[in-house]
């Protein structure tokens, strides 16, 4: 999932991550166990029960991006199989007030299912109240309004397999440096459930699975614009770093700039989420050795499926996760398609030839 601008929105209250510590698997915002998205499938009987009923769906997104486009595509394809029309699709532009207005607009179209990423736990709790109380089935992406109860107020939360994203990042970086050496850890310095789990999973995996790799430098980051400056300071103190983990792709671009400014071709970078600038460096055999992404199309498919199962009165799991995948130079074209359901940028495809 892409985190540009996300820092400007208070997406999650700090309490949601409190107490989880270093985990060996992804858990939900309130400690829920994860159900793999592959387990959420509409049977032929489900599809038959849904068709020709005039059911409608709405997609109320937090922003517009390749990521949300891919989530939408997965959802629309799943709804289409069931004969369910998507009657409203909105983009709140990371504005909680706009999202509230979007919900009111959507309810006028009388959808039976709403898929959304709530922008602010408190504001969203009020905003989605009318939808929840009127029997609309709500499925949330990566976040949940404050005080909401699964099974009563909403059907499910669907997100990435956050632990696997961090673990795969550790694995690809470890492989690139031969399983030994010194690495830096640049983590998201904010109480945000998604990035916290991903970052901690990287650290846990290195410490547990790679005894010959030491994390010798740690740096929190809250503003991606400061990534180059913070990375330069880290490299000044640790010029012999073999690798650096960066919490997501936008600050990774700043870390890459710091390495280039220092003439450093040795230190490897791994980061999370797909981005053209860092992917270009990767396919040109630069510092970047891997990008770990979520399967955004699968997120949307699973959200739609769980919403429809709820509509049928079936029990739905509280917390569902879609797979992570590691994208390298060798699989960049397929990886982009598997994650975002679109071709990789032409510049990346050309450079990979």
Do 126 and 182 belong together in one domain?
no
Q: Residue 332 is part of a domain; what is its CATH number?
A: 3.40.50.2300
Do 100 and 249 belong together in one domain?
no
What pLDDT digit, counting tens, does each position of 151-197 carry? 999 999 999 999 999 999 999 999 999 999 999 999 999 888 889 99
Which tokens sit at 42?
Answer: 């509409």
> Does residue 331 form part of some domain?
yes
> Does residue 277 form part of some domain?
yes
Do 21 and 50 belong together in one domain?
yes
Do 64 and 118 belong together in one domain?
yes
Which tokens sit at 91?
Answer: 């983009």
In this predicted structure, what is the pLDDT of residue 43?
97
Which backbone phi and psi does 343 adopt, to 5 degrees? Answer: -65, 150
- CA angle (197, 131, 294) in 5-degree steps: 25
Do 129 and 168 belong together in one domain?
no
> Does residue 170 form part of some domain?
yes
Is residue 288 within 8 Å of 278, Cβ to Cβ? yes
Q: Is the pLDDT of residue 63 over 60?
A: yes
What pLDDT digit, counting tens, does each position of 215-243 carry? 999 999 999 999 999 999 999 999 999 99
Do 230 and 267 belong together in one domain?
yes
| Eight-state DSSP code of residue 27 | B
12 or 36, higher pLDDT: 36
CA separation for the pair 328, 172 (Å, rounded): 9
Of the candidates 127, 148, 115, 129, the residue with the CA atom closest to the CA atom of residue 310: 115
Which tokens sit at 134?
Answer: 């009127």
Question: What is the extent of the structural domain holding 77?
Answer: 6-160+296-322
HEC profile of 200-264: HHHHHHHHHHCCCEEEEEEEEECCHHHHHHHHHHHHHHCCCCCEEEECCHHHHHHHHHHHHHCCC
Residue in this structure with the two tokens 């989605």, named with its chain if needed: 128
Alpha helices in the chain (DSSP H): 44-50, 66-81, 96-108, 121-127, 129-133, 162-176, 193-209, 227-237, 249-261, 276-283, 296-311, 332-340, 346-352
Of the listed ranges 11-20, 92-101, 107-116, the least confidently predicted one is 11-20
Do 180 and 47 belong together in one domain?
no
> Does residue 174 form part of some domain?
yes
In this predicted structure, what is the pLDDT of residue 120?
84
Do 98 and 50 belong together in one domain?
yes
Q: Is the pLDDT of residue 2 over 90?
A: no
Q: Is the pLDDT of residue 48 over 80?
A: yes
Q: What is the largest CA-CA distance in the chain?
A: 66
Do 170 and 231 belong together in one domain?
yes
Q: Is the pLDDT of residue 23 over 80?
A: no
Give Cα 270 to chain centroid, integer Å: 16
Do 230 and 133 belong together in one domain?
no
Do 149 and 202 belong together in one domain?
no
Number of folded domains in the chain?
A: 2
> Does residue 1 form part of some domain?
no
Do 287 and 253 belong together in one domain?
yes
What pLDDT digit, counting tens, does each position of 269-294 carry? 999 999 999 999 999 999 999 999 99
In this predicted structure, what is the pLDDT of residue 24?
76
Give me the DSSP letters along 29-49. Answer: TTSPBPEEGGG----HHHHHH
């Amino acid at each position: 999932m892409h985190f540009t601008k996300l820092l400007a929105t208070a997406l999650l209250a700090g309490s949601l991550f409190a107490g989880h510590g270093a985990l060996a698997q992804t858990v939900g915002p309130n400690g829920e166990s994860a159900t793999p998205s592959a387990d959420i499938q509409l049977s032929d009987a489900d599809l038959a029960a849904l068709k020709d009923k005039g059911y409608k769906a709405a997609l109320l997104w937090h922003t517009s991006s390749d990521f949300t486009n891919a989530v939408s595509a997965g959802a629309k394809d799943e709804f289409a199989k069931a004969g369910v029309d998507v009657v409203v699709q909105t983009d709140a532009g990371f504005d909680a007030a706009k999202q509230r207005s979007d919900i009111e607009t959507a309810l006028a179209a009388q959808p039976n299912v709403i898929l959304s990423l709530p922008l602010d736990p408190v504001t969203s709790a009020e905003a989605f109240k009318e939808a929840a109380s009127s029997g609309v089935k709500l499925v949330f992406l990566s976040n949940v309004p404050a005080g909401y109860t699964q099974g009563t107020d909403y059907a499910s939360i669907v997100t990435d397999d956050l632990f696997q994203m961090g673990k795969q990042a550790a694995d690809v970086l470890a492989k690139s440096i031969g399983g030994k050496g010194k690495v830096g850890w640049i983590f998201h310095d904010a109480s945000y459930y998604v990035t916290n789990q991903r970052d901690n999973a990287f650290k846990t995996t290195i410490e547990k699975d790679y005894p010959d790799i030491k994390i010798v430098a740690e740096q929190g980051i809250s503003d991606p614009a400061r990534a180059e400056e913070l990375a330069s300071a880290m490299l000044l103190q640790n010029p012999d770093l073999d690798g650096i983990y960066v919490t997501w792709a936008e600050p990774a671009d700043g870390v890459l700039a710091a390495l280039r400014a220092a003439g450093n071709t040795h230190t490897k970078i791994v980061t999370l989420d797909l981005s053209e600038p860092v992917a270009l460096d990767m396919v040109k055999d630069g510092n970047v050795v891997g990008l770990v992404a979520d399967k955004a199309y699968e997120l949307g498919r699973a959200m739609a499926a769980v919403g429809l199962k709820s509509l049928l009165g079936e029990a739905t799991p509280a917390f569902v996760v879609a797979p992570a995948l590691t994208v390298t130079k060798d699989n960049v074209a397929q990886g982009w398609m598997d994650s975002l359901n679109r071709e990789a940028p032409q510049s990346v495809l050309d450079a990979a030839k």
